[in-house]
Amino acid sequence: MRRLRGYGSLLVIVVVAASVLLYTLVAGNKPLLGLDLQGGVSVVLKPVQQVDNDTIDQAIAIIRQRIDAIGVAEPEITRQGSNILIQIPGVKDKERALQLVGQTAELQFRPVLANVPIDPQSETTTTSGDPAATTTTAAGATTTTIDPTKTVGGLPLDVCTAGLTAEEINATGQAVLPQCKDGLLVGSYAVGPVSLTGSALETARANLGNTGQWVVAPTFKSGSDGIGGFNAVAGQCFSKGSTCPTGQLAIVLDGRVLSAPSINSQSFKADQIEISGSFTERTAKDLATALKYGALPVEFEQQQAQVVSATLGRDALHAGLVAGLVGLIAVAIYMMAFYRVLGLFAILKLGIEAALLWSIISWLGANNGLALTLAGITGIIVSIGVSLDSNVVYYEHLKEDINHGRSIRSSTDKSFVSAFSTIVKADVASLIGAALLWWLTVGPVRGFAFYLGLSTALDLLTSWAYMRPVVKLATRSKALLSRPWLLGLPAEKSQERANQKSANRPIAEVSK
C-alpha cells in the first residue's frame, strides 16, 4: 500500500470531476447563456440625481413588475452601484421592451364595471397543464364579455406571465384588465374609460390606520384636475350608477389593476383619503409608491441599451466555440509534440478542469442566474493558456533538474515543490487581479473577471491534485522510464558522468 501514498488526491479529483459532470448531465443543467449569445435586450439605467439605496430597490421592484407585464421569460434585474442593469433574454418584441423599460408609465383611475375574482390555485394547474392552449386564447383578451366558467374572466390564463399587447395596455375605452399577484391571475376587472391619471395626485404614503391595519393615504392636488376630478368619479361610484355599477374604482398601472377599492363616501377632501383593505406593510408601500411616482420613484436615464438578434448571438456563440476548439487542438498538438506523454497529461488536466468548470457554470446558471457571456467565453479560452502554463513550468523544471544529473524519479517530487511555488505565486497574482476587477468594475468586465478567476482557481487545484500524482505515476512506470523521450524528458545522466562533470566544474572547485 505504501506505493499508493500520494496518489489519493488523483483518485479524488478524477472521481469528483466525473461525478459532478455526470450529475450535471443527468440533472440536465446547462450553462445559462448571456444576452450576447442567445439574443435579447439589455438596458443600463442610471438615476438622473443622487438617490439612496431604498429608492433604487423600489425602482427595481417596479421595473420588474412592468417587464413581467409584457410577459418575457426571466428578466434579470440587478444593481450595479447606483445603476440598474436589466437583461431580458430572448424577448420577441424587443422594441417594445426597450420602450417600456424606464419609461414613465401612466397611472390610471378607472371605474369598475364588473369583476371576477379568480382562485389562483386552480388557475396554476390549468396553465401548467396545457400551455399550448393558453397561447391560442391570447386573442380573447380583448373581449368584454365576462364568462368566468370558460374564459376565466375574459382573460387568458397566462395573462400575468404572457402579458398584454401594447394596444390593450394603452386602451382608454372599456377593457378587461387582470389583477396579478406573484405572476398569478387573481382577478379580472371590466373597467370603463380612464377618469383620472396619476398626475392628479400630489403624493401618497402608507401608514398604520386607526384599526392597526396598513392603509394607503393618497393626497390629491387641488382643482378640477385633482381632487375635483376624483370626486366626480367617486360620486358616480358611490351612487353605483351605470358608469360604475360595482362602486369600485380601479387603480391601473401598465394595464394591470393594482387595487380596486370600494368608494365609501360621496366626496372626499384632498388629503383625507384612505385606501384600506388586507394590506401588508409591503403591499401598502408598493401601492403608495406606485401612486406617488406613477412608475418609477426617480427619473432614469438610459445609459446603454443593447438589442442582440438571436441570429447574431448564435453566430457569436458558434464562432467562439469553434475558435476555442481549434485553439484547443492547436495547443494539444504543440504540447504533445513537445512533451509527449506528459503533454497528453496536460491535455487531460484541461479535460478535468473543463468538466469542473462546465458543472460549476451550469450550477450557477441554474441556481444563481449567472449567465455565460461572450466575455466569459473569452475568459475561458484565455484560461486554457493559464492552465497549460503551469504544466510548462513544471515540465521545464523537471527537464532542468534531470539535465543537472538528477534521476527522473528523484526529480519529480523535488521539481514539483519549486515549480508549484512558482505556479502559486503566478496564479495568486492572477486571482488578485480577477478579484479586483470583479469588485471594482461594471458590465462585461465583471463576467470576464469571474470566469478568469474561476479557471485560475481550478488550475491551482488540478495542478496540485492531478498534475503532481499523475506525473509521479508516469515516472514510476518502467516502460516509460526506459524510454524517456516518450515523456519528452532528457535521458538520465549516469551517476559516474554526473560525478565526473561536477569534478570538472571550476565553480565547484574554486572556493574563496
Partner 1 sequence: MSKLGRLNRGETNIDFLKWWKIGLAVSVFLMVVSVGSLLTRGLNLGIDFKGGVSWEVSAPGVTVDQTRTALDAVGEGSAKIQIVGTDIIRVQGPESTPEHTIEVTKTLAELANTDPANISFSTVGASWGGDVTRSAIRALVFFFIAILIYLTIRLEWRMAVAALIAVFHDVLISVGAYSVFQFEVTPGTVIAFLTILGYSIYDTIVVDDKIRENERLVGQSGRLTYGQMTSLSMNQVLLRSINTTVVSLLPVVALLVVGAGIMGAVTLEEFAIALTVGLLAGAYSSIFVAAPILVWLKEHQTKFKVIRERLQSQGVDVAHASARVDLLGVTSGAPAIDAPSASAAASGAAALGTTSTPSGVIPPRPRKNQRKR
Considering only residues 289 to 348 of the shown chain, the ones binding partner 1 according to CB under 8 A are: 301-313, 315-316, 318-320, 322-324, 326-328, 330-331, 334-335, 338
Question: How many residues interact with partner 1 (rule CB under 8 A)?
Answer: 99
Kindly identify the residues of this chain, within the stretch 235-264, that bind partner 1 according to CB under 8 A.
none
Between 10 and 116, name the residue whose CB sits nearer to partner 1: 10
Between 30 and 96, name the residue whose CB sits nearer to partner 1: 96
Give me the least distance between CB of 57 and partner 1, in Å please. Answer: 21
- Residues whose CB falls within 8 Å of the CB of residue 216, separated by 6 or more in sequence, listed in order: 204, 205, 206, 259, 274, 275, 279, 284, 287, 288, 291
Interface pattern 3-42 for partner 1 (x via CB under 8 A): ---x-----------------------------x--x---
Kindly identify the residues of this chain, within the stretch 373-412, that bind partner 1 according to CB under 8 A.
374-375, 378, 381-382, 384-386, 388-389, 392-393, 396, 399-401, 403-406
Query: Chain-centre distance of CA 492, in angstroms?
Result: 54
Pairing assessment for the beta strands 196-197 and 40-47 based on DSSP bridges: unpaired
- What would the DSSP string read from start to end of 129-158? H-HHHHHHGGGGGG-----HHHHTTTS-TT
Between 153 and 320, name the residue whose CB sits nearer to partner 1: 320
* Cβ atoms < 10 Å from Cβ of 181: 11
Structure-block grid coordinates of residue 276:
384600506
Give me the least distance between CB of 381 and partner 1, in Å please. Answer: 5
CA distance linking residue 432 with residue 324, whole number of Å:
25
Between 34 and 218, name the residue whose CB sits nearer to partner 1: 34
Between 72 and 98, name the residue whose CB sits nearer to partner 1: 98
Give me the least distance between CB of 461 and partner 1, in Å please. Answer: 17
Burial class (CB in 10 A: 0-12, 13-18, 19+), 398: buried
User: H/E element holding 436?
Assistant: helix 408-440
CA distance linking residue 461 with residue 126, whole number of Å:
49
Kindly identify the residues of this chain, within the stretch 47-76, that bind partner 1 according to CB under 8 A.
none
Of 204, 217, 356, 452, the residue at the interface with partner 1 (CB under 8 A) is 452
Between 11 and 429, name the residue whose CB sits nearer to partner 1: 429
Q: Residues 306, 41: contact at Cβ < 8 Å?
A: yes
Give me the least distance between CB of 35 and partner 1, in Å please. Answer: 10
Give me the least distance between CB of 200 and partner 1, in Å please. Answer: 27
Residues in the chain: 512
Of 344, 444, 473, 484, the residue at the interface with partner 1 (CB under 8 A) is 444
Separation of first and last alpha carbons in the chain: 49
* Cβ atoms < 10 Å from Cβ of 494: 11
Between 6 and 193, name the residue whose CB sits nearer to partner 1: 6
Residue 134 binding partner 1, by CB under 8 A: no
Give me the least distance between CB of 436 and partner 1, in Å please. Answer: 5
Between 242 and 511, name the residue whose CB sits nearer to partner 1: 511
Query: Rounded to 5 degrees, what angle do the CA atoms 141, 142, 144 make?
Result: 105
- Residues whose CB falls within 8 Å of the CB of residue 272, separated by 6 or more in sequence, listed in order: none
Give me the least distance between CB of 69 and partner 1, in Å please. Answer: 18
Residue 441 binding partner 1, by CB under 8 A: yes
CA distance linking residue 344 with residue 391, whole number of Å:
11
Kindly identify the residues of this chain, within the stretch 83-102, that bind partner 1 according to CB under 8 A.
83, 92, 94-95, 98-99
- What would the DSSP string read from start to end of 199-217? GGEEEEEEEE-TTS-EEEE
Of 299, 443, 476, 486, the residue at the interface with partner 1 (CB under 8 A) is 443
User: H/E element holding 386?
Assistant: helix 374-403
Select the span of 277-285, 289-297, 370-378, 459-467 touching partner 1 (CB under 8 A). 370-378
Give me the least distance between CB of 174 and partner 1, in Å please. Answer: 28
